[in-house]
Amino acid sequence: MGSASLSILTPSKPTPVSSTEEDPPNPSTALLSFNTDSSTPPHKPTTTILFISLLVITCIALSASIAFAFLFFSSSSSSSSSPLSLQIESTARPLTKLDRPVVLLISSDGFRFGYQFKTPTPNIGRLIANGTEAETGLIPVFPTLTFPNHYSIVTGLYPAYHGIINNYFADPITGETFTMQSHEPKWWLGEPLWETVANHGLKASTYFWPGSEVKKGSWNCPLNYCRYYNSSVPFEERVDTVLHYFDLPSSEIPVFMTLYFEDPDHQGHQVGPDDPEITEAVARIDRMIGRLIQGLEKRGVFEDVTIIMVGDHGMVGTCDKKLIFLEDLAPWIEIPESWVQSYSPLLSIRPPAGFSHSDVVAKMMEGLRSGKVDSGKNLRVFLKEELPDRLHYVASDRISPIIGLVEEGFKVEQKKSKRKECGGAHGYDNAFFSMRTIFIGHGPQFARGHKVPSFENVQIYNLVTSILDIQGAPNNGTVSFPKSVLLSSP
């Protein structure tokens, strides 16, 4: 079985992500000014008296306004519900009910950044207003697929290092196939957060998360603390189960929990990102967040619990007119189905022995650039070692030697057909803004009303271990990242 060596992970620094968007300037304080234009003609005495009277009245009014503003800002600073209280603290807030920090990591699958504006989301909005948000979204790892990204979030590793390089793939040595039902430890490299927590003698719980059912290291998916995936379980039941953990004795409460929702990814694939079904799915997720907040408040622990809400990727619309067919390349080179590991949005090709990989790429690109292949300009084919470094998609023999990057919204298929499809997809280059998702942090160590630049999800592992004050495993995140996002200890 091909596997990436973890010995090189020292925590290495990923390619820096620069944000071209700047925080909007803070509204400047309004200043009252008088017009002292020298061209104003001299006043008569009565006019002068009137002017002086108005000046006195204006000064009194201005003084009263300043006094009122002072009292208003002073009183509102103690209220977390008022926008005027959104000031960045300098230190973490002390716990009042829990004995130690607890992190609840929530994933809303396929929650594209911007979905929160499709419909009123008062509960998600509350977390944002009183917490810290990635202002222009969370950047997924490449490929922007569900399993690679969920496992990157909890390991801090790029897919080439944690081994889950796609939702489906074949081991080039054994020929075995990985699917989303594969729970054998040999596939899942790295150390996920629940294992890290268990290594420190602490309790973790997982309510659905790719990889959480895998028994490896000190994590054995304990009964009552680990749920095997079942999409039919109502969202309400999932939330209520997590809430019941806070009814346990303090020493029994897991310090790290996961909670997973399939929506709005489920709807996005069927109807694309702009359908009313997405709006309703987002509203439903917001109701679940409201149910969670209400339950935590009832137990008096809402302000103590650290909630980190993320998605794994975004979504973009697709349609039949945006198709690229491999059979159209036949005049230059035939690509048999047996060579193709995956088609879209990540084209993955592994030719059999005896074929030059560079020759295959050259002939494919000749055809795609010829202008004779429908939509050919929307597919670029690379030897994997020639992919852009920012994708971090080379250091595993599980990755096919030939990788095709498909333009946003396009799909690759083997043969032309009359099948009609208009829906949504993800998996594209993570540089596309449509692939971004959300990051919201709310809790004692997150400043209220704070915005941070976009960052890659491999940083979340170190963020969680810093909050829990435990030593993490080597990973691709930067050691300094938590300091740039979290408040200092009180």
Q: What would the CATH number be for the domain defined by 323-421? A: 3.30.1360.180
pLDDT band at 88 (very low <50, low <70, confident <90, very high): low
Identify the DSSP state of 312. S
Q: Report pLDDT for 490.
A: 75
Q: Report pLDDT for 343.
A: 96
Does the pLDDT value for residue 59 go beyond 70?
no
The rounded mean pLDDT for the chain is: 86
Cα end-to-end distance, the chain, whole Å = 48
Pairwise CA distance, residues 164 & 211, whole Å: 10
Q: For residues 294 and 13, which has the higher predicted lDDT (pLDDT)? A: 294
Q: Which residues are catalytic?
A: 146
| pLDDT tens column, 132-161 | 999 999 999 999 999 999 999 999 999 999
pLDDT band at 380 (very low <50, low <70, confident <90, very high): very high
DSSP letter for each residue of 62-106: HHHHHHHHHHHHHHHTT-TTSGGG----SBPPPPSS-SS--EEEE
Does the pLDDT value for residue 219 go beyond 50?
yes
Instruction: Copy the structure tokens of residue 461.
Output: 């592992």
Q: Report pLDDT for 87.
A: 54
Percent pLDDT > 90 in the chain is 79
Q: Average pLDDT in the 108-121 region? A: 97
Using alpha carbons, select from 321, 328, 414, 400 the residue that is nearest to residue 363: 328
> Alpha carbon of 117 to those of 3, 289, 442, 454: distances in Å?
41, 16, 19, 18
Percent pLDDT > 70 in the chain is 82
Q: Report pLDDT for 89.
A: 72
Q: Report pLDDT for 36.
A: 30
Q: Average pLDDT in the 303-330 region? A: 96
Does the pLDDT value for residue 70 go beyond 60?
no
Identify the DSSP state of 453. -
Using alpha carbons, select from 180, 18, 33 the residue that is nearest to residue 109: 180
Q: For residues 107 and 87, which has the higher predicted lDDT (pLDDT)? A: 107
Q: Report pLDDT for 211.
A: 98
The pTM assigned to this predicted structure is 0.83
Using alpha carbons, select from 317, 410, 315 the residue that is nearest to residue 113: 315
Q: Are 350 and 172 in contact (CB under 8 A)?
A: yes
Q: Report pLDDT for 420.
A: 74
- Name beta bridge partners: 104: 257, 307
Pairwise CA distance, residues 327 & 342, whole Å: 15
Q: What would the CATH number be for the domain defined by 102-316+431-484? A: 3.40.720.10
pLDDT band at 68 (very low <50, low <70, confident <90, very high): very low
Backbone angles phi, psi at 181, to 5 degrees: -105, 5
Q: Report pLDDT for 90.
A: 82
DSSP letter for each residue of 379-433: EEEEEGGGS-GGG---S-TTS-SEEEEEPTT-EEESS------EEEE--S-TTSG
pLDDT band at 417 (very low <50, low <70, confident <90, very high): confident
pLDDT band at 321 (very low <50, low <70, confident <90, very high): confident
Q: Average pLDDT in the 155-178 region? A: 97
The residue ranges of every structural domain in the chain are 102-316+431-484, 323-421
Does the pLDDT value for residue 34 go beyond 60?
no
- Report helix angle 146-155 to 460-468, nearest 10: 40
**Cis peptide bond upstream of 264, omega within 30:** yes
Residue 218's Cβ-count burial label (10 Å; 0-12, 13-18, 19+) is middle
Q: For residues 84 and 248, which has the higher predicted lDDT (pLDDT)? A: 248
Q: Are 457 and 310 in contact (CB under 8 A)?
A: yes
Q: Are 113 and 138 in contact (CB under 8 A)?
A: yes
pLDDT band at 108 (very low <50, low <70, confident <90, very high): very high
